[in-house]
Amino acid sequence: MEIFFIALGLSLIAGLSTTIGSCIAFFLKEPGPKFTSVIMGFSAGVMILVSFVELLQEGIDSNGFFLGHLFFFLGMGLMFIIDVMISHSYEFEEAIPKEGKGKSRINKLEKTSLLVTLGVFIHNFPEGMVTFVGALKDIQLGLLLAFAIALHNIPEGIAVAIPIYNSTKSRKKAFFWSFISGVSEPLGALIGGLILFPFINDFLLGAMLALVGGFMVYISLDELLPASRACGKEHLSILGIMAGMFIMALSLALL
């Protein structure tokens, strides 16, 4: 049970990193496009490299080439279904409607606040399983996954906090809803862990790691990379990706 609680704790840390983003938002008010572009690209680079080098490879080693890739693409398919059903935007400038004045603008901000918070909450839920399953396989892998997910949860925290703070002028409310949006990750890890933990074996663990790799690649390609390029120049985006991949490769080599 010790490994269970360690895995749950890592998921909690990764999820609650959204509150770091809300604290940053208090100082940045509106994060610049260069900051957003680099941090999104960096996060995508980290997640893509660890997915192909570690997660998919673990799935192949455990269950063979065919099944490993089958679970990987199944993960991408599941994330596609979730994304279609509950869509949300990472482009922070879209999270703050500029048009409208007075009460009309406040109402739009409040509506945006709820939608962004709900979207982040639901998208974070399967990510909780990412860190949890990785940590069950290996603590060092769990730490790397927690780092990758925490990194892109920081901008998510900014996306949640900015519209709430601008509509309510309350730092407490902005921080609270950012906290709530991040809680879904340890919640997803807990629910999944309680269901799967008694049945964990090499086959299931390999399948889950490949599945999680599919999750992370989909998130990176469908949301993080387009957001990174939309928020800044393409050179900043690719530099962030290269830096993220280099740091993750260096981490894997050292560990």
Residues in the chain: 255
Q: What is the mean pLDDT of residues 176-192?
A: 84
**Over 70: is that where the pLDDT of 109 sits?**
no
The boundaries of the domain holding residue 61 are 2-254
76-107 CB burial, b ≥16 within 10 A, e <16: beebeebbeeeebbbebeebbbeeeeeeebee
Asked which of 11-15, 114-118, 165-169, 198-202 is least confident by mean pLDDT, the reply is: 114-118
Average the pLDDT over 94-118 and give the result.
Answer: 50
Evaluate whether 121 touches 184 at the Cβ level (below 8 Å): yes
Beta-carbon contacts of 107 under 8 Å, excluding residues fewer than 6 positions away, are none
Residue in 228, 181, 182, 236 with CA at minimum distance from that of residue 48: 228
Instruction: Report which of residues 232 and 107 the model is more confident about.
Output: 232
Across the range 23-39, mean pLDDT stands at: 70
* CA angle 247–253–255, rounded 5-degree value: 100
Percentage of the chain beyond pLDDT 90 is 9
End-to-end CA distance of the chain: 24
Segment 164-185 shows an average pLDDT of 80
Which segment of 26-30, 78-82, 193-197 scores lowest on mean pLDDT? 26-30
Domain count within the chain: 1
Query: Average pLDDT of 184-191?
Result: 84
